[in-house]
Structure 1
Amino acid sequence: MSDLAPYALALAALFAGTAAGWAHFRALETIAARLAAGERRVILWQALRLIALGLFLFLCAKGGALTLLAAAGGVFLGRALVMRGARKGAAP
């Protein structure tokens, strides 16, 4: 295995984590709005959303600490992207 392989895996985990984080928090926005509207059946989607993110991070943990940290950082980056979009949408 090359000396750069762990870093390449971490970079891939960062990008995948960003996509997973964006999807996770974007879905949260939608689920929260639907729950506020009284749709109780979206609770299942909430559970699936949490399970999917947990499974993603579990699989990244199998790649080692660097991979897990990169994926978690990507999730936070995805969250920041969703929050930035929400702030732009809320501005008058």
Structure 2
Amino acid sequence: MANHKSALKRAGQNTRRRLRNKAVLTRVKNAIKDVRLAVAENAEDRDMRLNAAKSDIDKAAKKGVLHKKTAARKISRLAKLANTQQA
């Protein structure tokens, strides 16, 4: 464990950020899973779920949890999946 006051503060910040990042990533994973299930089931609300997933992924990128190019890649792959099932 840290001994200096600044190191103790830094450890606390890291813990809080880790928990926040974990929550954001879990939300992203669940949104992606919802889109994949909607596509597999040919659900009517596929586009609504896709838009919600795009929003969650963009928010994660904005907060720095995901790199912006990683977020773009995930969105692109989900959109591609949804569009191939529509045709």
TM-score by length of 2: 0.50
Aligned partner of 1:10: which letter? N
Query: How many residues are matched?
Result: 58
Q: 1:68 aligns with which of 63, 66, 69?
A: 66
SS at match of 1:4: helix
Distance 2:27 2:47 in 1: 21
Deviation at 1:48, TM superposition (A): 2.1
Larger Rg: 2
Q: 1:10 aligns with which of 13, 21, 32?
A: 21
SS at match of 2:13: coil
1:51 is matched with 51
Deviations 1:57-92 (A, max 9, x none): 11112211xx126xx6xx8xxxxxxxxxxxxxxxxx
Q: Give the gaps of 5 or more residues in structure 2.
A: 1-11, 75-87
Aligned partner of 2:48: which letter? L
SS at match of 2:14: coil
Q: Give the gaps of 5 or more residues in structure 1.
A: 35-41, 76-92
Deviations 1:38-64 (A, max 9, x none): xxxx4xx33323211111111112211
Q: Which has the higher contact order (CA 8 A, sep 6+)?
A: 1
